[in-house]
C-alpha cells in the first residue's frame, strides 16, 4: 500500500513538473488563450460566403467554420475542458489592426497573403485560392479587361484587388478610369445604376454579391481572372506557437474528410473545387 501511495505521489509530482514546464515554454497569444480559456476571433461581416452574419447576427461562412474547427483543435492541444470564442466584427479596413492591436488573436475572412502585409502580420497555411474578377452589366459587350478600354472600373481602395487591377491595366496596355468605392455593395449599386461600367473584387465574393443584385440576370462575372489571391487566417506577426497550433489544426482538417464537407456546404459539391484550391488542401495537409 505504501509503495502504491509512493508511486501515486511520484506520478503527481511528475505531472506537476510537466505542467510547470508547459507554463515556462508556452508564450505569446497561446499562453493568454490558455490562461483565460478564451480566444478572440475577428470575422468579416461583409465577405460572403467566407465570413458574414446570418439572420441572427451570428458569424458564419466558409472561413468562420474553418476557424471554429481550428479553435476546437487548439482546445484539445491545450488540454482545456472549454475554450470560449470572443467574436470581434471587423471590416476590410480594420481587420489587420484588430490583430496587431491585440483585439483579436486571429482573423477569419477573405484576406489575401502578400509580402507587404507580412511586414505587419503573419498568416496560416492557405485556406483558399481565388483571383480578382470583374462584374459588369450583361448588356455591356465585354468579355475581358481589354474590352473595358475607356470605361470606368470601380474597386475598393487599399485592397489587393486595387493593386491587381492597376497592374493588369498597365500590363495589358488598357486605359480605363479607376473609381474608388468603399464597399462591395456600393460597387454593385454603381454598376447597376450605370455610374461605373465594371466592379473589380475577388471572384468568389463577386459570385456571392450577384445574389444581392436587383436583377441577377442583368449582371455578369467575366471569366478572365486578373490575379492569383491565396487566402489565409491572419495571425500576430512573429508568434510561432500560435501559427504552429493553427497550421496543425488545418492539417488535421485537410487530412480528414471534413474539408470536403466544409467546402461543399459553402461552394457546392467538392468536385467543383478548382485545381489550385485542391492543391491548397494537399500542401496544407502536413504530417505531424
pLDDT of residue 21: 34
In contact, 250 and 74? CB cutoff 8 Å: no
Give me the pLDDT at residue 9, please. Answer: 40
H helices within the chain, ranges in order?
Answer: 2-25, 28-36, 62-78, 95-100, 160-171, 184-193, 203-210, 240-255, 258-267, 275-284
Query: CA torsion angle for 67, 68, 73, 77 (degrees, to 10)?
Result: 90
Phi-psi category of residue 26: left, alpha or beta, with phi > 0 → left and psi -120 to 50 → alpha:
beta
* Residues sharing a CB contact under 8 Å with residue 282, sequence separation 6 or more, in sequence order: 254
pLDDT band at 175 (very low <50, low <70, confident <90, very high): very high
- Is 176 strand, coil or helix? coil
pLDDT tens digit string along 225-277? 888 889 999 999 999 999 999 999 999 999 987 998 999 899 875 545 567 78
Identify the three-state secondary structure at position 39. strand
105-148 pLDDT per residue, tens: 999 999 999 999 999 999 999 999 888 999 999 999 999 999 99
For the chain, give the percent of residues with pLDDT over 70: 90
Least confident of 10-24, 27-41, 67-81, 184-198: 10-24
Extents of the domains making up the chain = 27-129+229-284, 132-221
- Grid coordinates standing for 105? 488573436
Looking at domain 132-221, what is its CATH homologous superfamily? Periplasmic binding protein-like II (3.40.190.10)
Pair 226, 134: CB distance under 8 Å: yes
Q: What is the pLDDT of residue 131?
A: 84
CATH topology of domain 27-129+229-284: D-Maltodextrin-Binding Protein; domain 2 (3.40.190)
Fold match, 27-129+229-284 / 132-221: yes
* Nearby residues of 116 by Cβ (< 8 Å), 6 or more positions away: none
Q: What is the pLDDT of residue 34?
A: 96
Q: What is the pTM of this model?
A: 0.74
For 47-54, what is the mean pLDDT? Answer: 92
- Angle (CA) 113-117-123 rounded to 5° is 50
Cis peptide bond prior to 122, omega within 30° of 0: no
Average pLDDT, the chain: 87
- Per residue in 155-173, pLDDT tens? 999 888 999 999 999 999 9
Q: Whole-angstrom Cα distance, residue 190 to residue 152?
A: 10
Question: Which of the pair, 10 or 174, is modelled with greater confidence?
Answer: 174
Amino acid at each position: 500500500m505504501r509503495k502504491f501511495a509512493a508511486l501515486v505521489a511520484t506520478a503527481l509530482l511528475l505531472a506537476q513538473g510537466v505542467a510547470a514546464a508547459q507554463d515556462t515554454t508556452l508564450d505569446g497569444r497561446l499562453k493568454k488563450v490558455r490562461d483565460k480559456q478564451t480566444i478572440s476571433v475577428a470575422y468579416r461581416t461583409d465577405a460572403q460566403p467566407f465570413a458574414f452574419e446570418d439572420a441572427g447576427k451570428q458569424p458564419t461562412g466558409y472561413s468562420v467554420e474553418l476557424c471554429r474547427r481550428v479553435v476546437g483543435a487548439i482546445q484539445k492541444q491545450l488540454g482545456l475542458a472549454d475554450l470560449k470564442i470572443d467574436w470581434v466584427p471587423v471590416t476590410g479596413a480594420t481587420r489587420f489592426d484588430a490583430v496587431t492591436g491585440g483585439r483579436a488573436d486571429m482573423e477569419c475572412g477573405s484576406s489575401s497573403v502578400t509580402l507587404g502585409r507580412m511586414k505587419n502580420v503573419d498568416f496560416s497555411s492557405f485556406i483558399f485560392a481565388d483571383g480578382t474578377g470583374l462584374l459588369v452589366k450583361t448588356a455591356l459587350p465585354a468579355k475581358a479587361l481589354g474590352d473595358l478600354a475607356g470605361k470606368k472600373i470601380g474597386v475598393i481602395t487599399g485592397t489587393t484587388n486595387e493593386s491587381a487591377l492597376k497592374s493588369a491595366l498597365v500590363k495589358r496596355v488598357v486605359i480605363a478610369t479607376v473609381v474608388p468605392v468603399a464597399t462591395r455593395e456600393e460597387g454593385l449599386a454603381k454598376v447597376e445604376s450605370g455610374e461605373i461600367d465594371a466592379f473589380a473584387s475577388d471572384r468568389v465574393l463577386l459570385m456571392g454579391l450577384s445574389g444581392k443584385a436587383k436583377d441577377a440576370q442583368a449582371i455578369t462575372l467575366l471569366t478572365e481572372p486578373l490575379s492569383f489571391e491565396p487566402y489565409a487566417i491572419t495571425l500576430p506577426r512573429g508568434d510561432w506557437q500560435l501559427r504552429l497550433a493553427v497550421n496543425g489544426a488545418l492539417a488535421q482538417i485537410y487530412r480528414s474528410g471534413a474539408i470536403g464537407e466544409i467546402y461543399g456546404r459553402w461552394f457546392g459539391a467538392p468536385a467543383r473545387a478548382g485545381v489550385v484550391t485542391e492543391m491548397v488542401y494537399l500542401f496544407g495537409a502536413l504530417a505531424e
